[in-house]
Chains A and B, each alone.
Chain A
Amino acid sequence: MQVTAYDYPTAQLISARSEVDIILVGDSVGMTTLGYASTVPVTMEDMEHHARAVARGAQRPFLVGDLPFGSYEQSEAQAVASAVRLLKCGMESVKLEGGRDMAKQVRALDAAGISVLGHIGLTPQTAVKLGGYGYQGKTAKAAVRLVDDALALQEAGAVALVVECVPSEVAAEIGARLRIPTIGIGSGKRTSGQVLVLHDMIGLYAHASPKLSKRFTNVSDAIAAALATYTAEVRGGAFPAPENSCALAPAELAAFQAALPPRPVGEQAPERDAKSAPRRPDAKRVLVVGAGAVGSLFAFRLARVGHDITVVDEWAAHVEAVRRRGLTLTEAGAGAKPAVAEHVEALTPAEFEASAAQRASTYDVVIVATKGGKTEEALARVPSVAKSRRPSAPVVVAVNGVPNREALQKAFGGAAPLVHAITYNGALLSAPGTWHSPADLACQLTSPRRRGVAHRRRRDAPRRRLGGVVRAAERGGHCVARMQGR
């Protein structure tokens, strides 16, 4: 068996962890690794660069280097000179494309003591002349010519023959008539051996021919999944973790800060208004599903008093804006400046799911603030939301109308304490990530907790006749109740 390799790690893998006999440092490197449209642009310098890397990684397999297009066709002397260059890079043999026309080059290489493989059938370096990357030898006349080419190469001294894209009967006939082994690709099973391009068989090259090759695995998916986790973890703060970092000793840190002049104006962090609170030691981790008006307002206010907030919303532009600039809210009142909430992590549902493993049993509170009819749909996009909740964490549902109990129980399990929040608050979206709090409600929102208590006193009875709703609206407050069976 034979596969291609172009670099140190794959050569090492093939050498140490497979039973592959031969590594071909193929000129396919041009397409699979260098991004060329064909193998024609590949140079001797390209081949030498990759041959050296493979030779450093491969201990066991026999190493064959491809002579690239233009490095051997002109003369025997050119072929020998090019082959010597590849041998100097650690190759043990070379391969060149062509039939009877190349026999004299093969003979010269053999005479120079260089082991050489031939390559007939579809010869990609001259595919244009052949009329494309199709099967060769499909007529009796063409098939006979292939047999003749094979015999000529054997006679010239080739040690083996790659037979590419030839009907299986023709490949079998060639094999039967040769003393040297045949190595097939796209030529059926009746050849002495097989060769494949590694990047095709592991799903790392998007344009692989399905006819010629087979995708035995798909490492592209594994790479993409790893990249998604990486980006989500960096954005979410899970990576780098303390074990991935080096902290300065406290005394050194103090000395370091003391030794530096103050940062020049303009490079400092954006100005925060006075109400901004640092992350507190007893910060709750709150997950907000749905970052519309209500979800964003809750997230903003909780973050502003130092809690750790994660918002999940499918509106990617909003999520990106919050990520880049923070969650911004302009309070009511003339001259109010936009305030930015810190400690807000914004994720799309896909990003949340990609980092699900790090979020298991994390959140102290989950707030569901989706559109009323969309609760089930939104929760279905984040199936790990139930596991991300700490066992006793309440699920606060702030939706217009009545929460969809079935959807919530399906998402969080029947035992999760559901809390229905009836709120009159909201905010106006002015741009992704940026909200305005409506004038009258905002000042009422600042009303102290004491007023909430006062409402429960007897002397408040005349007002109570207005009903809880009006009272709540008056102070821009909320009525929160544990959801019970209807």
Chain B
Amino acid sequence: MCALLSEAGIASRACKAAEAHEAAWGKLVVNLAINPLTAAMGVTNGVIAGDAWRPAVTSLVREALAARRGSAPGAEELQRHVESVVQVARATQANTSSMLQDVRRGAATEHEHLLWSARQLDAKGDMPLQHFLKELVSARQSIKV
């Protein structure tokens, strides 16, 4: 499978379930930071890679990691995931996130699925900031632009 994808230019590798679980969490943290923020603010991914957005990104990452562990994340772990978000935002700077595309199309967003995914990945705590962002995105969908 990996050979098939890699040969097609989609560099891939297989990993064990434990690593996949870790990777899925990492991706989820990125999605939970970039997607709702860009959707609520109506900006491309690159915008939130800027320094001005770091506190907001950090708050969301901290909440997601705390929900995962059931306790506050360590400074190093937090830093690592914030960097990951910023890197992805920068790498996809011209992109409109899928959630913002959905908002603009008036379609249902994946936000609920992302929160469901966190629970599937054994998240222990709630994420009030995410719920607030969900409300914000939903309210934004009611604005005719």
The complex places the Cα of A481 from the Cα of B21 at a distance, in Å, of 9
A301-B9, A365-B1, A468-B19 known; A400+B31 contact, CB < 8 A: yes
B110 A400 Cβ-Cβ under 8 A: yes
Instruction: Report the minimal beta-carbon distance from B81 to chain A, rounded to whole angstroms.
Output: 8
B11 A478 Cβ-Cβ under 8 A: yes
A452-B12, A481-B15 known; A373+B112 contact, CB < 8 A: yes
A301-B10, A449-B11 known; A469+B84 contact, CB < 8 A: yes
Q: Which of A421, A422, A423, A477 has the most CB of B within 10 A?
A: A422
Query: Which chain B residues border A428 with CB–CB below 8 Å?
Result: 94-96
Q: Return 24 A-B CB contacts under 8 Å, by A number.
A: A298-B5, A304-B8, A307-B4, A400-B113, A401-B114, A402-B117, A402-B120, A420-B20, A420-B24, A429-B101, A438-B92, A438-B93, A439-B93, A445-B10, A449-B6, A470-B84, A473-B30, A473-B91, A474-B87, A477-B10, A480-B1, A480-B5, A481-B16, A483-B17
Query: Which chain A residues border B9 with CB–CB below 8 Å?
Result: 301, 304-305, 445-446
Instruction: Report the minimal beta-carbon distance from B15 to chain A, rounded to whole angstroms.
Output: 5
CB of B126 closer than 8 Å to a CB of A: no
| Smallest CB-CB A-B distances: 10 pairs | A469-B26, A401-B117, A481-B20, A373-B113, A477-B11, A372-B113, A402-B117, A301-B8, A478-B12, A402-B120
Q: Which of B6-49 contact A (CB under 8 A)?
A: 6-17, 19-20, 22-24, 26-28, 30-31, 35
CB of B2 closer than 8 Å to a CB of A: yes
Q: How many residues in A have their beta carbons less than 8 Å from beta carbons of B?
A: 62
Query: Which chain A residues border B72 with CB–CB below 8 Å?
Result: none
B15 A468 Cβ-Cβ under 8 A: yes
Write the A262-302 contact mask toward B (1 if CB under 8 angstroms, else 0): 00000000000000000000001000000011000110011
Instruction: Report the minimal beta-carbon distance from B3 to chain A, rounded to whole angstroms.
Output: 8
Query: Which chain A residues border B54 with CB–CB below 8 Å?
Result: none
A470-B83, A479-B20 known; A486+B120 contact, CB < 8 A: yes
CB of B53 closer than 8 Å to a CB of A: no
Query: Which chain B residues border A477 with CB–CB below 8 Å?
Result: 10-13
Write the A384-408 contact mask toward B (1 if CB under 8 angstroms, else 0): 0000000000101000111000000
A478-B5, A479-B13, A480-B1 known; A466+B98 contact, CB < 8 A: no
B10 A466 Cβ-Cβ under 8 A: no
Q: Which of A423-438 contact B (CB under 8 A)?
A: 423-426, 428-429, 438
B11 A447 Cβ-Cβ under 8 A: yes
Query: Which chain A residues border B13 with CB–CB below 8 Å?
Result: 452, 455-456, 477-480
A438-B93, A480-B13, A481-B14 known; A466+B80 contact, CB < 8 A: yes
Instruction: Report the minimal beta-carbon distance from A59 to chain B, rounded to whole angstroms.
Output: 62
The complex places the Cα of A42 from the Cα of B53 at a distance, in Å, of 78
CB of B132 closer than 8 Å to a CB of A: no
Query: Which chain B residues border A302 with CB–CB below 8 Å?
Result: 4-5, 8
CB of B140 closer than 8 Å to a CB of A: no
The complex places the Cα of A456 from the Cα of B27 at a distance, in Å, of 20
Query: Which chain B residues border A307 with CB–CB below 8 Å?
Result: 4, 8
CB of A440 closer than 8 Å to a CB of B: yes
Write the B60-91 contact mask toward A (1 if CB under 8 angstroms, else 0): 00000000000000000000100110011011
Residues of B within 8 A of A (CB): 1-2, 4-17, 19-20, 22-24, 26-28, 30-31, 35, 80, 83-84, 87-88, 90-96, 98, 101, 108, 110, 112-114, 116-118, 120-121
A467 B22 Cβ-Cβ under 8 A: yes
**Residue of chain B at shortest CB distance from A294:** B98
Query: Which chain A residues border B5 with CB–CB below 8 Å?
Result: 298, 301-302, 478, 480
A440 B91 Cβ-Cβ under 8 A: yes
Query: Which chain B residues border A481 with CB–CB below 8 Å?
Result: 14-17, 19-20, 23
Query: Which chain A residues border B112 with CB–CB below 8 Å?
Result: 373
Q: A301-B9, A307-B4, A371-B98 are in contact. List 20 more A-B contacts (CB 8 A).
A: A292-B98, A373-B116, A400-B98, A401-B117, A401-B118, A402-B117, A402-B120, A421-B12, A424-B27, A440-B90, A441-B92, A446-B9, A449-B6, A466-B80, A467-B26, A468-B22, A478-B11, A479-B13, A479-B15, A480-B5
A372-B113, A373-B108, A479-B20 known; A424+B91 contact, CB < 8 A: yes
CB of A476 closer than 8 Å to a CB of B: yes
CB of A52 closer than 8 Å to a CB of B: no
CB of A325 closer than 8 Å to a CB of B: no
CB of A257 closer than 8 Å to a CB of B: no
B84 A401 Cβ-Cβ under 8 A: no
A307-B8, A401-B114, A441-B92 known; A480+B22 contact, CB < 8 A: no
B91 A396 Cβ-Cβ under 8 A: no
CB of A482 closer than 8 Å to a CB of B: yes
Query: Which chain B residues border A372 with CB–CB below 8 Å?
Result: 110, 113-114, 117
**Residue of chain B at shortest CB distance from A436:** B94
Query: Which chain A residues border B16 with CB–CB below 8 Å?
Result: 481
The complex places the Cα of A446 from the Cα of B120 at a distance, in Å, of 33
Q: Which of A300-339 contact B (CB under 8 A)?
A: 301-302, 304-305, 307
Instruction: Report the minimal beta-carbon distance from A391 to chain B, rounded to whole angstroms.
Output: 16
A479 B93 Cβ-Cβ under 8 A: no
Which of the residues A304, A422, A426, A482 comes within 8 Å of B98, measured between beta carbons?
A426
The complex places the Cα of A439 from the Cα of B44 at a distance, in Å, of 13
Query: Which chain B residues border A486 with CB–CB below 8 Å?
Result: 120
